[in-house]
Chains A and B, each alone.
Chain A
Amino acid sequence: MIRYIIRRLLVAVLLLAIISLVTFGIFFLLPKLAGQSTDDLAARYLGREVTPEGLAGVKAKLGLDDPFLVRYWEFVQGMFVGQEYKFGTSITECPAPCLGYSYRTNEPVFDLLLDRAPVTFSIALGAAVLWLLAGVTIGVISALKRGSVFDRASMSAALAGVSLPMFFTGLVSIWLICRQLKLLPTPRYHEFLDNPATWAQALILPWITLAFLYAAMYARLTRAGMLETMGEDYIRTARAKGLPERTVITRHGLRSALTPIITIFGLDIGLLLGGAVITETTFSFAGLGQLMLQGITRSDLPVALGVTMATGLFVIVANLVVDILYAVADPRVRLA
């Protein structure tokens, strides 16, 4: 088991290294492919007053003319030991983990990420709890009562849930619940530590709309998984032992049916933690997704790179956790 975990950890680290290299490479190449010279990039960084000395200074400070590997090395160094930017005589110290500065606002990208992360995490984790509970429960009941009215109704709803885009359900729910029925104020993010109640109140609509989409998927997955496992020989054995049907369903059936769902859940949650772009945009929440969007639309490369790296990290960490959970759940995996 310990060897298995160590092996997974090593793989995760290797994956992170590859992801950083690839993303950095893409962001290094993108401006070149778009026909922008390093002068253009430096000009964007400078803003209004563009002077030849200024351009040269910025290029030297950010190392824009350095070769790819040198720049990548500095980027990696920045993450682990920090980086120093020299602009003429002034030296800016960027402590580790340093992801550079926004071309636009000149703020450290890492601070921006820290600032935005709680919003995204609140949305993602709350929705995840909702959709797991709802999706799995509905899926199990549907499987056990296959062909019943409940099964048909919930599976139709699930189909609708999967097909309806987030921005549609989100906007409709804001319009209906906040504007027409006035049940809730229009969502605006509040810090959890300030007041958990307003925090939850603001998040409830994004949670529900996001969870609706995922719960639909998970309900269908759980249903299919349960239908399969409940036909297994070991379920018959469990019944033959005289176990009450509830124990048979939960401890023998659901236990097996849930394991593949853990895998998908790890991927979904990892991606969502990196930014629920559509949800954040629909509800105007300033999370990582919006930061990413801003970074891309404003060609703010360090920001876009930073968010991408963060997403990559979350997906890999979530997958690592899933792999370990999987080994805990299924003893046969530990051998592999």
Chain B
Amino acid sequence: MARKNDKRDDEMRDGTSTAPAGPADSRPPSSFLEVRDLRIHFPTDDGLVKSVDGLSFQLERGKTLGIVGESGSGKSVTSLGILGLHNRRNARVSGEIWLDGQELVGASEEQVRRLRGRDMAMIFQDPLSSMHPFYTVGHQIIEAYRIHNDVTRKVARKHAIDMLGRVGIPRPDRRVDDYPHQFSGGMRQRAMIAMALSCDPELLIADEPTTALDVTVQAQILDLLRDLQREFNSAIIMITHDLGVVAELSDDILVMYGGRCVEYGTVDDVFHAPEHPYTWGLLGSMPRLDRERSERLLPIKGTPPSLINLPSGCAFNPRCAYAELNGGKSTEERPDLRDAAPGHRVACHLPAEKRRQIWNDEIAPKL
């Protein structure tokens, strides 16, 4: 651990000497991870796709942030953006990403590459297509370990077996030489987690890690992540559209819509006192076992907006049942993210009393 921190200090010094001068207010934040006004735009023939448009959040070590939203809301683009995996030729990334005192958006590709895998790692949605079919699972873990650690193949192999054992793969000394297609879906995701954790990253981004898995395996994987987080004290960003997963694992929740944050708060805030009509919709469309089967789910009407041509004003207004209550303000002006309560932020034009009234009278009884 000590050696690793030395390395990082070196890089920080390098970084500060070569990095271009940022905006005047860009000072290193106190949080472990802080994202400020992140914008990720893709110029296309049809226009500018604003996948992420002004996203900010912080995350501390040992904590988990859940990012939820529909497909196309910018969740995955955000996570790839933090890892610097967008091709700089076709993505325009602006804003700031501070990881442990180092700014990543302005850093060189080489600097970010050195951090990738070692300080921040990612678990992907589909473990079968995310592992190279031609290499053994062990080879892929060894490869990840040896880029960032100057060790012999033998030592790395021992480490790989060790990691496979820690994520609960039986007889890891044998399975290490298996190919991904010889693993079951759950085992593959465990191997993927072993690979991501092989260098003890302090930030782990899990992009829908359980979507491709059986429900029984899902719970095991979530338990595993929780245990490993306790062991490694890493910060986790959990990206999902499954509110159950988020509730299970997260400390804070960020609800995304149309590339922006619409609600941000603790699990308690967002599940028990949600303020945004979109969050209400998400909660309403979640099936629950403690309700009568005869009660219908309440889906959100309409479809996610086009990121090229977002609706004017609040991006959610065409699908919002309460947009009319503002006398047209929702279609004219984009709502800012404001504190609804300390630490609980929401971007909605509805007056706070009105929102609380709707939640208490109309929404909560139906959930």
Contact = CB atoms under 8 A, between A and B. Distances in A.
Interface of A: 232-234, 236-245, 252, 255-256, 329-332
Contacts of A242: 113-118, 144, 147-148
16 contacts: A233-B129, A234-B131, A234-B133, A236-B80, A237-B124, A237-B132, A238-B132, A240-B117, A242-B114, A242-B148, A252-B132, A255-B134, A256-B134, A330-B134, A331-B179, A331-B181
Contacts of A252: 132
Most buried by A among B130, B179, B192: B130
Contacts of B144: 241-242
Given A241-B117, A242-B116, A330 B133 contact: yes
Interface residues on B, range: 20 to 34
Interface string B134-174: 10100000011001100000000000000000000000000
B147 A241 contact: yes
B133 A332 contact: yes
B124 A241 contact: no
B132 A236 contact: no
A244 B148 CA distance: 11
B93 to A, nearest CB: 15
A242 B80 CA distance: 13
A304 B97 CA distance: 73
B130 A237 contact: yes
A97 B68 CA distance: 74
Given A233-B126, A331-B179, A240 B134 contact: no
A240 B117 CA distance: 6
Contacts of A332: 133, 179, 181
A108 B315 CA distance: 85
Given A236-B85, A236-B124, A241 B195 contact: yes
Nearest to A253: B132
Contacts of A239: 85, 116
B122 interface: yes
A6 B23 CA distance: 68
Nearest to A243: B147
Nearest to B112: A242
A225 to B, nearest CB: 14
Given A256-B134, A330-B133, A241 B181 contact: no
